[in-house]
Amino acid sequence: MALVAGAVAVPTAAAQPLAPPPQLATDEVPEGWPAAPAVSASSYLLVEGSTGQVLAARDPDRRRPVASTVKILSALTVLARADPGDEVTVPAEAAAVGGATVDLDTGEVWTVGQLLDAVLVRSGNDAAVALALEIGGSLEGFVDLMRADAAALGVEGIELTSPSGLDDANRLSARDLGVLTRAALADTRFREIVGRSAVDLPGVGRQPSRNELLGTYPGATGVKTGFTEAAGYALVASAERGGREVIAVLLDSQSADSRFAEAAALLEHAFGTLTALPVRARTSLRVAGGEVVLQAAPVPLVVPADAAVVHPVLALPVEVPPAGEVREAPVLWDDQELARLSVVVGEATRPDVDGGAALGRAVVDRVYAAMRAATTTGSWSLTTAS
């Protein structure tokens, strides 16, 4: 289906609903955590892709110009509303755009997929504008869609004025870009594009990715570079190793080369100095002569490689909770909360306080007395096996 140039914003399909990526672990770096490598970036964030656990950061919430890394959000907005096979006729406004381009000519017909290749692999500003005009009907209309999509993903209050990043009025934080990138990489179409080390473009031929980590850093999977004088050198990079994917966001690095070296150093820190281990609640817990069955999906938490085992701590009331009730179990490392397990209470056997055959009535009474004393602050805690 062709998209009509300059038309009112009528997407080729209903916009796909967007939801924030899951935040299953802490979004702050714990005290006493191993120090990350020194980098020149004014702001950076190192985050675990599957859980959102923040592994290292500097000034991650400061919003600043981000140059072409904003195209991650632009691509998300396009993919939510158009199919890669849809055709787009290049308008004159897009062909006239400067900066990094793929030399689009007015009247050319490209597919949405080809334009996304140009946007994400070659950072084509003209391709970003062509898509924005077609999807949004105007640049302002498309930016409104970008802003709405960002809010749906949990990124609110950002300053957006253009889909390309050529305008330095776009302002996002490293944390904002981390959230958007986690959401984008969940879309296999986006993931496939940003993982390409080179791309064939109509009338242009084969062009290399501007992300130099692809093909040079083991396991690199994406995602986007950026540069303007105001933004400095920016990079969002991702890599997989050992079943984990880690994302590094660097804003305002010292040079084009340093951003790649610094991203590689941060990724090595994540894969080397830190390690992942699955944390789960054990399947049953004995409570004063009864037994509570606990069910919780494992959460892959990251801890220092030399850390002792971490434990989820489950707070239960004096009475055995009813089956099906969900409780939150904080997972602690060095007395600091790393995550919370959602623990589902299964069928439970009740204490036999009448027969006293197992514990004896006096023992049961003492246990419950201790439990009642502990609940003066609301609950008592049990440490379950990891």
Domain final position from 275, 301, 335: 275
Which is the catalytic residue, given 43, 50, 74, 123?
123
Range of the domain at 143: 2-275
Residues 134/88, Cβ–Cβ less than 8 Å? yes
The answer to whether residues 227 and 315 belong to one domain is no
Which is the catalytic residue, given 50, 68, 162, 238?
68
The answer to whether residues 269 and 288 belong to one domain is no
Q: Which structure tokens are listed for 371?
A: 């439990």
Question: How many Å from the N-terminal Cα to the C-terminal Cα in the chain?
Answer: 53
The answer to whether residues 29 and 146 belong to one domain is yes
The answer to whether residues 373 and 229 belong to one domain is no
C-alpha pair distances (Å), 26 with each of 59, 169, 301: 16, 30, 10
- The predicted structure's pLDDT at residue 59: 98
User: Which residues are bridge partners to 381 per DSSP?
Assistant: 315
- Under DSSP, the state recorded for 269 is I
How many other CB atoms sit within 10 Å of the CB of residue 158? 19
- The predicted structure's pLDDT at residue 101: 97
| CATH number of the domain bearing residue 107 | 3.40.710.10
The answer to whether residues 251 and 284 belong to one domain is no
Give 88-114 pLDDT, tens digit per residue.
Answer: 999 999 999 999 999 999 999 999 999
Strands (E), 296-350: 299-304, 311-316, 326-333, 336-349
Report the domain count for the chain: 2
Residues 316/380, Cβ–Cβ less than 8 Å? yes
- The predicted structure's pLDDT at residue 9: 40
Beta-carbon contacts of 202 under 8 Å, excluding residues fewer than 6 positions away, are 108, 110, 114
- The predicted structure's pLDDT at residue 201: 97
Q: Which structure tokens are listed for 2?
A: 């062709």
Burial class (CB in 10 A: 0-12, 13-18, 19+), 140: exposed
Domain final position from 209, 243, 275: 275
The answer to whether residues 24 and 48 belong to one domain is yes
Whose tokens are 């005009």? That residue is: 133
The answer to whether residues 8 and 121 belong to one domain is yes
Q: ω into residue 223 within 30 of 0, thus cis?
A: yes
Q: How far apart are CA 202 and CA 142, in angstroms?
A: 25
Beta-carbon contacts of 197 under 8 Å, excluding residues fewer than 6 positions away, are 208, 209, 214, 215
The answer to whether residues 305 and 270 belong to one domain is no
C-alpha pair distances (Å), 353 with each of 190, 316, 380: 60, 19, 20
Residues 341/278, Cβ–Cβ less than 8 Å? no
Q: How far apart are CA 270 and CA 143, in angstroms?
A: 34
C-alpha pair distances (Å), 186 with each of 49, 56, 90, 308, 363: 10, 22, 29, 32, 53
User: Which residues are bridge partners to 246 per DSSP?
Assistant: 48, 239
The answer to whether residues 158 and 22 belong to one domain is yes
The sign of the dihedral angle between the CA atoms of 214, 217, 223, 228 is negative
- The predicted structure's pLDDT at residue 299: 80
Which is the catalytic residue, given 43, 50, 71, 224?
71
71 is catalytic: yes
**What averages of pLDDT result for each successive group of 10 residues across the chain (386 residues)?**
40 72 94 96 98 98 98 98 97 97 98 99 98 98 98 97 95 99 98 98 96 98 98 99 97 98 99 87 53 69 80 56 72 83 65 44 45 39 38
The answer to whether residues 323 and 261 belong to one domain is no
- The predicted structure's pLDDT at residue 357: 42
How many other CB atoms sit within 10 Å of the CB of residue 192? 14
- Phi, psi of 105, rounded to the nearest 5 degrees: -110, 145
The answer to whether residues 271 and 284 belong to one domain is no
Domain final position from 275, 300, 327: 275
Residues 88/5, Cβ–Cβ less than 8 Å? yes
User: Which residues are bridge partners to 228 per DSSP?
Assistant: 232
The answer to whether residues 162 and 231 belong to one domain is yes
Average per-residue pLDDT in the chain?
Answer: 85
- The predicted structure's pLDDT at residue 17: 86
